[in-house]
């Protein structure tokens, strides 16, 4: 059963993400909130691998993230962040993106500022942009963790990231996800949320992971691996080490600040090819 929605506390949320700036519905505040969230709240799916159901219920997600210091996946984190932005006076809607497969694999946010300019917001993906990006065709945004580009292709928006291949002069923009601007309700993602938790065609089901941005990099737990990332001149330098299963709970506590209630079953299996038909937004 849901906890009382009246118990959701904006100040406790701001404290959780270590935000101490001014709270005004403008682009500067949005930038600071976005970066604070990504460097404080991990993108993680460990509930799936601890025998816990992920339920799209705002008070439950608030309790998980704010009170229990956990993270979550896109349907949890972006909805919770949308609630915070609304409380601070921002105009925000939920939209659907396709990372691979049908629409609804990913949820992100679209914020409209008082000037009328629209901004893409996403605190629910492990490898995404650090700062919000204005929704403008052809815009390129060089950030700490990479260079991102938005383009409009036959009525659909595409978010891309620059990746170097070989020499510094050799690079390509690779798609992160595609999306349109149709407003969605949270319940529209219910079927896909369940699918993500149980289908071997999804990353969430096949791999236990927890990842968080750092000021100059990122730290990721996956299965029995720890991946450390350092960003230098727009490039990512990664190192990987193995971790014994018995050390994982201590690592999660020391690195991400939480202790799991149930036993984690580490998983790091290949993602299977999707079937001919997969759930779509309801």
CB contact at 8 A, 261 and 277: no
Residue 6 bears catalytic tag? no
Sheet containing 217-222: which strands, arranged edge to edge?
43-44, 209-214, 217-222, 225-232, 235-242
Contact 97, 106 (CB under 8 A): yes
Structure tokens at 186: 């949270």
Q: In sequence order, what E strands does the chain have?
A: 43-44, 91-98, 106-112, 118-121, 133-134, 140-143, 146-153, 156-164, 171-179, 209-214, 217-222, 225-232, 235-242
Q: Which of 37, 106, 188, 210 is catalytic?
A: 106
Check residue 77 and give left, alpha or beta (phi > 0: left; psi -120 to 50: alpha): alpha
Distance CA 172, CA 282 (A): 35
* Catalytic (active site) residue 29: no
- Residues 6 or more apart whose CB falls under 8 angstroms from that of 53 comprise 47, 197
Catalytic residue among 34, 37, 122, 210: 122
**Candidate list 29, 34, 37, 74, residue with the active-site label:** 74
9: annotated active-site residue: no
CB 107 within 8 A of CB 94: yes
Report which of 145, 119, 120, 141 is spatially closest to residue 130, judged by C-alpha positions. 145
Give yes or no for a contact between 234 and 59, defined as CB atoms under 8 angstroms apart: no
What residues are labeled active site?
74, 106, 122
């Amino acid at each position: 059963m849901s906890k009382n929605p009246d118990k959701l506390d904006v100040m406790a949320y701001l404290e959780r993400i270590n935000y101490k700036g001014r709270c005004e519905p403008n682009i500067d505040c949005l930038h600071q909130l976005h970066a604070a969230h990504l460097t404080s709240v991990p993108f993680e799916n460990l509930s799936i691998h601890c025998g816990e159901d992920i339920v799209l219920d705002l008070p439950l997600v608030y309790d998980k993230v704010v009170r229990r210091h956990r993270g979550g996946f896109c349907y949890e984190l972006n909805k919770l962040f949308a609630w915070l932005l609304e409380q601070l006076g921002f105009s925000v809607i939920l939209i659907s993106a396709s990372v691979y497969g049908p629409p609804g694999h990913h949820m992100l946010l679209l914020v409209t500022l008082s000037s009328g300019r629209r901004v893409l917001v996403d605190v629910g993906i492990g490898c995404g942009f650090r700062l919000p990006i204005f929704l403008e065709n052809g815009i390129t945004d060089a950030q700490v963790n990479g260079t991102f580009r938005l383009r409009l292709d036959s009525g659909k928006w595409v978010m891309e990231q620059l990746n170097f291949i070989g020499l510094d002069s050799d690079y390509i923009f690779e798609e992160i996800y595609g999306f349109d601007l149709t407003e969605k309700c949270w319940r529209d993602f219910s079927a896909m949320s369940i699918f993500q938790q149980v289908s071997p065609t999804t990353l969430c089901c096949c791999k236990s992971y927890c990842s968080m941005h750092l000021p100059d990099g990122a730290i990721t737990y996956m299965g029995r691996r720890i991946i450390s990332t350092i960003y230098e001149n727009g490039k990512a330098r990664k190192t990987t080490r193995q971790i014994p299963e018995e050390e994982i709970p201590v690592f999660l506590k020391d690195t991400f600040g939480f202790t799991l209630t149930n036993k984690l079953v580490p998983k790091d299996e290949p993602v299977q090819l999707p079937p001919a038909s997969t759930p779509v937004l309801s």
